Copies of this chain bind each other. A is one copy, B any other.
Amino acid sequence: MAAPVPNSQQEMRRRNLARVLHAVSEGGPASRAAVAARIGLTRAAVSTLVDELLRAELLVELGPGRPGGVGRPGSALALTDRGPCGVGAEIGVDRLAVCAVDLRGEVRARASAPFGNRGGDPAAAAARLGELVERVTAEVAPEGLRPAGLAVAVPGLIARGTATVVRAPNLGWRGVDLVPLLPAGLPLTVDNEANFGALAELWLGTADAPRDFIHVSAEIGIGGAVVLDGELLRGARGFAGELGHVPVRPEGPRCACGGRGCLEQYAGEEAVLRAAGLPYGDDTGAHVALLADRAAAGDTATRRALRDAGTALGIALAGAVNLLDPRAVVLGGALARLGPWLLPSLERELADRTAAPDAIPELIVSAAGDKGPLLGAAHSVVRAVLDDPLAYGPGQGPAGLRSAAAPV
């Protein structure tokens, strides 16, 4: 069926305000005329929209004009570096982290703390995370920034449209609803860390970065996410992207998911350390560095373990590529750092097993790296503001904005 058309004037106005903000966000500061050219509306229509966004203090004018004042033709418009900001958070196996990102995409504050989540109590982790959120928001408040929402990245399966962690094997969590555990009063989003990592890649990548890709990162588990035509694939229940549980050898070792021979059994951190004859210590942050050091020093067992992990990754990715035909495969997290020893075998499997000729996707190393999930979370809030500016005007703003709907 043809795409739906907005039915009301209000909805049309909301969309056009969002188009103006996105045009400035993606293309950088620009005059009214340049914004009009970018989005294909008339100069007059854009001027009206811009005036509204200036009054709402979401746009500001650069240059000689009074900042935030009545616009002069030709002066450049920019997103504000005050007002609503996105707060992102990450619950890792042994660490919690929070950051605040303004509408321009700048990280304005960060906080993190070691925290042993493995088998730990979700309430304790959430309470500590709440303290970090408070610290970060207090740090940016004097700069005129107020949180527009909180987005939390979790290494687990999140039921679509909820804040419930259905299963997070490496945390030992099952059926944990984060809503009652996290600070009230802020719109809350919870998503899989690999999903946020892939979104960071999409949003923070260069303009010519692919918009169809499989994102794979290996830390303690294997994180996977699929982006199709610039949209994250969520799946019917929110569980899409579980590349770590694609069968590689159907009669292989038993996996925590109930299957056998899943990718995680060959390319997860624990499996690679075991294959390399190295201990799985408590300091999980040191594992990747240990593997990289050993491999760089020429240790045969480590190199073989990484080569075999690359083979397993290549087999699983080949299946995914044959199903999805993506433009690229983006390697994040530890995969980027271990690339020299993983990539040759990975590339060979991908080349041998891709069914369509000339359809072998480009292999790209992640730009955001292991910061991806945290940045993606914070940016998801920023994008929610840009998508629906009517909902995020200042409390003391003009009547037209005060009457807008509350944030969803």
Which B-chain residue is minimally distant from A224 (CB atoms)?
Answer: B323
Cβ–Cβ < 8 Å partners of A15 in chain B: 2-3, 5
- Chain B residues with Cβ under 8 A from A358's Cβ? 237
Q: How many copies does the complex hold?
A: 2
Contact mask for chain A residues 298-335; partner B; CB cutoff 8 A; 1 contact, 0 none = 00000000000000000110111011111100000000
A323 pairs with B1, CB closer than 8 A: no
Contact call A318/B247, Cβ cutoff below 8 A: yes
Q: Are B325 and A235 in contact, CB atoms less than 8 angstroms apart?
A: yes
Known contacts A19-B1, A235-B325; is-contact A242 B355 (Cβ 8 Å) = yes
Please determine whether B326 and A323 come into contact, CB atoms closer than 8 angstroms. Answer: no
Is the Cβ of A323 less than 8 Å from the Cβ of B258? no
Give the residues in chain B near A316, CB-CB below 8 Å: 319
Asked whether, in the complex, the Cβ of A240 is within 8 Å of the Cβ of B324, the reply is: yes
Inter-subunit contact A247/B326 (CB<8 Å)? no
Q: Are B326 and A236 neighbours in the complex by a CB distance under 8 Å?
A: yes
**Does A293 have its Cβ within 8 Å of any Cβ on chain B?**
no
| A44 cross-chain contacts in B, Cβ below 8 A | none
Whether, in the assembled complex, A68 has its beta carbon less than 8 Å from a beta carbon of chain B, the answer is no
- Bound together, the chains give a CA A41 to CA B15 distance in angstroms of 19
A26 and B1 contact, CB distance less than 8 A = yes
The interface size bin for chain A is 35 or more
| Contact between A323 and B325, CB atoms less than 8 A apart | no
A17 to chain B, nearest CB (A): 9
What are the residues of chain B within 8 A of A22 when measuring CB–CB?
A: 1-2
The answer to the question of A122 belonging to the interface, with a C-beta cut-off of 8 Å to chain B, is no
Assess whether A364 is interfacial by the CB under 8 Å rule. Answer: no
A214-249 toward B: CB 8 Å interface, digit per residue (1/0)? 000000000010101000011111111111111111
Q: Do residues B246 and A249 form an inter-chain contact, with CB atoms below 8 A?
A: no
- Ranked 5 nearest A-B pairs via Cβ: A235-B325, A245-B355, A259-B353, A246-B319, A239-B356
21 contacts across the A-B interface (CB closer than 8 A): A2-B387, A5-B5, A5-B12, A5-B19, A212-B235, A212-B236, A226-B324, A235-B324, A239-B356, A239-B359, A242-B325, A242-B355, A243-B322, A245-B322, A246-B318, A257-B355, A259-B318, A259-B355, A260-B352, A262-B355, A323-B323
